[in-house]
Amino acid sequence: MRSVEVHREQGQKHGPIAVSSSGTGPLALCVPGMGETQAAFRHLMQGLAGADALHGLAETFRAWATNHPGRHNAIQTAPDPDDKDGQAAATELFEVKAAALRAYELVGDDLTDANRFLRSTLHGYAVLEASSGFKQARSPDTTFSRIVDALDTVLRNWS
């Protein structure tokens, strides 16, 4: 492994990442951001369940993605199956998100699908917000809260 630096176009440093070239798939990135994200989620969600845990997870993710756009983009590529460090980091992050979804009683494929639904929704919003995709007068915070409420409704009726 070798370390490289992630930079925004303005040259602002976002911290080192480890680059792993093991396996046969595309280059996998083991990003400290996965650990940062799961630590923030785990700390925030202690004692929360259901809609409260979902809102906590979503709001923490949104703030982290806004404050660390380079790391947010880097963790979108799933680690190669042969990348043990990347797989371990991804599994820890998945487990924290699964804990936030525990009140919805999802298991197996339902949990995997719900996680993908949640991830794609939150990532899509973060990408649009970061690229100035919301220029209407209505507050993006209000919209985001309504989206998370809608996620809660869908997840309560997932099976």
Report the distance separating Cα 4 and Cα 60, nearest Å: 26
Report the distance separating Cα 11 and Cα 130, nearest Å: 17
Nearest to 152, CA basis, from 95, 103, 90: 103
44, 85 in Cβ contact below 8 A? no
The predicted pLDDT at position 44 comes to 58
DSSP structure string for 3-24: EEEEE-TT--EEEEEEEE--SS
Full-model pTM: 0.69
Cα–Cα distances in angstroms (integers) from residue 42 to residues 64, 87, 101, in the given order: 14, 19, 13
Looking up residue 24, the CATH number of its domain turns out to be: 1.10.357.10
Quick: pLDDT tens for 102-156: 899 999 999 999 999 999 999 999 999 999 999 999 999 999 999 999 999 999 9
3-state SS assignment for residue 123: helix
| Range of the structural domain that residue 138 is part of | 2-156
Those residues whose C-beta lies under 8 Å from the C-beta of residue 94, and which sit 6 or more positions away, are 115
The predicted pLDDT at position 37 comes to 56
Quick: pLDDT tens for 111-122: 999 999 999 999
Q: How many domains does the chain have?
A: 1
